[in-house]
Amino acid sequence: MAGALTLAPAIALLPFVAFLVALLGGRYAENALPRGGALYGIAATAGSLLLSAWVFLAVSVGTTTTEHVWTWVAGAGLPFDLSFGVLVDPLSALMVVIVSGVSLLVHVFSLGYMNAEGETGLPRYYAGLGLFTASMLAFALSSNLFEAFVFFELVGFCSWWLIGFWFREPGPASAAKKAFLVTRFGDYFLLVGVVGVLGTFGSAAFAGSEAFPTLAAAALEPGGEAVRTFGFDAGTWFTILALLILGGVVGKSAQFPLQTWLPDAMEGPTPVSALIHAATMVAAGVYLVARIYGFYALSPTALTVVALLGGFTALFAATMALVKREIKQVLAYSTISQYGYIMLGLGSGGYVAGVFHLLTHATFKALLFLGAGAVIVAMHHDEDMWKMGGLKSRMPTVYWAFLAGSLALAGIVPFAGFWSKDAVLYHALTVGLGGQPLVLLAYAFGLVAVFFTAFYTFRMVFLTFHGEPRSETAREATAADANMRYPVAVLGVLATVVGIANVDTLRGIVGDRVLFLERWLNGSLPAVAGGTAEHYHELVVDVAGFHQAAVSPLLAAGVTLVVALLGLGLAWTWYNVPEPTERTDALGPAKTVLYNNYYQDEFQTWLADGVARPFGRAVDVFDASVVDGVVDGVSTGSLAASKRLRRVQTGVVTTYASQLVTGLVVLLLVVLLWRWF
Amino acid sequence: MVPLQYYLLLSAALFCVGVFGVLARRNALVFLMSVELMLNAANVVFVAASAQYGEVDGQVFSLFVMALAAAEVAVGIGVVLALYRNFKDVDVTKATTMRW
């Protein structure tokens, strides 16, 4: 099976070829692109999926590799080299399967959403999807932090490209710019972190003998080999580096306070929202944390920050989702909230739990977005849930799949989200009770957010599919195309069953053998030493000092489930009626605050307009008056001086001679006087 | 034997006459003569020092200075000629076109 791993780079190259074909074909040979290039994209992503599955199988029999592909910068005098490579281990194999799978379904779905709707500029659309898929897969397979950074930026660029697909309208154009700028802001920190890692360890590799998490762990041991820590204590410096890298994670995974771009990104085509802004690109951030988990596990501070940030974001975003009118806005906030859970899981030491929730969330959120896309097409691009209603009988396939996804999102047993969210919360609870009050606080945030999640999810389901149609379009809605139905149905089945990958909650009852994901993530070989879930757990316990208190998993799961059912029940009583009303009006002014996202957009605009702009203007004034003044003064002074001085150039040779003689005499006098005194 | 100081005084006097000529006169040809005077002031010192210390170096150098002076006159006359062609005069204060 080792042959599969040599083909690993092709996983990322296939969509890249599709990108080139769509881009060049769209420019020079439109006729050579049936369906706007969709077929090439589908073929390429299907190929990637097959290769990924093959690689997945190869890894499952215990083959892993970290391989060097290309050196960009290297030299004898350099303390490090910048290179590109491929790392195939359980985590990356899992990720490429998720990414290529979702990408394939999104390509197929796009046939119905984009082609059937008569969009123009389709080669541009499919080129963007291809480049995105290629860079995301390459990111997942990156073998070092520098390479990961390059592809991290590329996926951000593709996000800009695809959000702004309808660039002639002001909304998408501005949303694309916002998404790019906000994530870039986080990426500045990441860039500094990458440079810091290279400067500290001289290597940014994820795995192998030179892996920087391994070097960091060695440096922390008494008598370990010292690394350059720029005057800080080693532990402090590693925490600083981890938090810098976290900056990029917060931007890409839309965590507080950089989450404002994600809801706006819903201006893009819905398949793009499903692919980029739910299942894959936003996953890049948390994937990066999981990738270098061995580094985070060394610092209790960094872990606590990750957990607290995640827990807070989970609750914060969930409250905003309560009052939204547009179906995609609810999903956008739930995405932010769910990535908060993943961060909470990772931050509280639950590596497996975090990766598990990443997997299940990718499935059910892609499903919900594609389902919402089908609804939006049926509603002729009206996204207001208050104009829907009663779609259940008109689009049954989409309804049942959407319901499965919603149950998974709300965390109702036995759907996928229940198992993973419970694993995350269980980890946060036990670590919190084990002497980490801040993690316990994060758990409390997460638990309250479970209630809100169940409520807003089923508010969305009931408003969209139940009751009486509330508009003419909803009355006349027809079932979705096969191109849209099949991806939704496939994901619907997956969202129902993918939870059995790791029934952590039933650990004591069913035995460890069925914890497939945990065994999967443990299955590393010496080639990628230090990358196993078991090893991470040891680090979290021994180095970071996160101990788990003994709590019955079933009890914790029961609490979570009851809270979720309460939220569901409230949504049921309020909205599962023929003529629902806006019950959230009871919140009064709080609703306005929530509806306006706590005025964060206004705050950020104020930051730009009220702080950055005056500051820039002041700097400009300083530049124009002081800096330019000095430069101009020097030139004006020398001009004026030379205007006078040039008078000595009389053109009369006698003058020059007398000047020479005078100079000579003065020199002689000086030398003589010097000698004499 | 005449002491060296006298030669030095003679040389300084000759040199000053030359300098005065360069600074005060306007005729380019007189310029050349004044320069000749200064060169010869140097020659006097060379020869006197040579006699004083019994070395031939100074005399050799004075021969070099003479050759130099001849070359200088050759160039100088050319310059004077060009001056005359351009300004119809050999008055150096008239040639003031290369000024600010």
Lookup: tokens for A61: 């029999």
CA distance A653 to chain B (A): 7
pLDDT of residue A525: 45
pTM over 0.90: no
Question: Percentage of chain A surpassing pLDDT 70?
Answer: 97
Residues near A560 by beta carbon (within 8 Å), at least 6 away in sequence: A411, A421, A422, A425, A447, A450
Please calculate the CA angle A250-A255-A260 and round it to the nearest 5 degrees. Answer: 110
Contacts (Cβ under 8 Å, ≥6 apart) of A638: none
Q: What percent of chain B has pLDDT over 90?
A: 69
pLDDT tens track for A244-257: 999 999 988 888 88
Q: Please name the helix (run of DSSP H) or strand (run of DSSP E) that holds residue A506, with its range, or none.
A: none
Report how far residue A247's alpha carbon sits from residue A258's, in angstroms, rounded to the nearest whole number: 9
The residue among A631 and A471 whose pLDDT is bigger is A631
Residue A599: alpha-carbon gap to chain centroid: 23
Report whether pLDDT(A490) > 80: yes
Q: Which two tokens stand for residue A300?
A: 């209790």
Residue A650: its chain B contacts at CB < 8 A? 96, 99-100
B99 touches chain A (CB under 8 A): yes
Hey, are the CB atoms on A653 and B99 less than 8 Å from each other? no
- C-alpha A195: how far from chain center: 20
Give the pLDDT confidence score for residue A634 in this predicted structure: 95
Q: Which amino acid is at A324?
A: K
Please answer yes or no on whether B95 and A651 come within 8 Å at the CB atom. yes
Which residues in chain A have their CB less than 8 angstroms from residue B90's CB? none
Q: Is B90 on the interface with A (CB under 8 A)?
A: no
Cβ pair A518, A502 in contact under 8 A: yes
Q: For strand A65-73 and strand A82-88, is the pairing parallel, antiparallel, or unpaired?
A: antiparallel
Interface predicted TM-score (ipTM) of this complex, two decimals: 0.86
Query: Which ranges of A164-224 would DSSP assign to H, the alpha helix?
Result: 170-201, 212-220
> Does residue B70 belong to the interface with chain A, where contact is any CB pair within 8 Å?
no
Closest CB from A647, A651, A658 relative to B97: A651
d(CA A644, CA B67): 42
Mean pLDDT of A544-549: 80
Q: Are A273 and A369 in contact (CB under 8 A)?
A: yes
Q: Which of A224, A21, A233 is nearest to A131 (CA)?
A: A21
Q: What is the DSSP letter of A255?
A: -
Does the pLDDT at position A208 exceed 80? no
pLDDT of the residue at A529? 46
pLDDT at A527 over 60: no
Q: What residues does A88 pair with on adjacent strands?
A: A65
Better-scored residue on pLDDT, A206 or B76:
B76
pLDDT tens figures, A22-37: 888 888 877 777 777 7
Q: Taking a C-beta distance cutoff of 8 angstroms, is the pair A498, A615 a contact?
A: no
Q: What is the pLDDT of residue B82?
A: 92
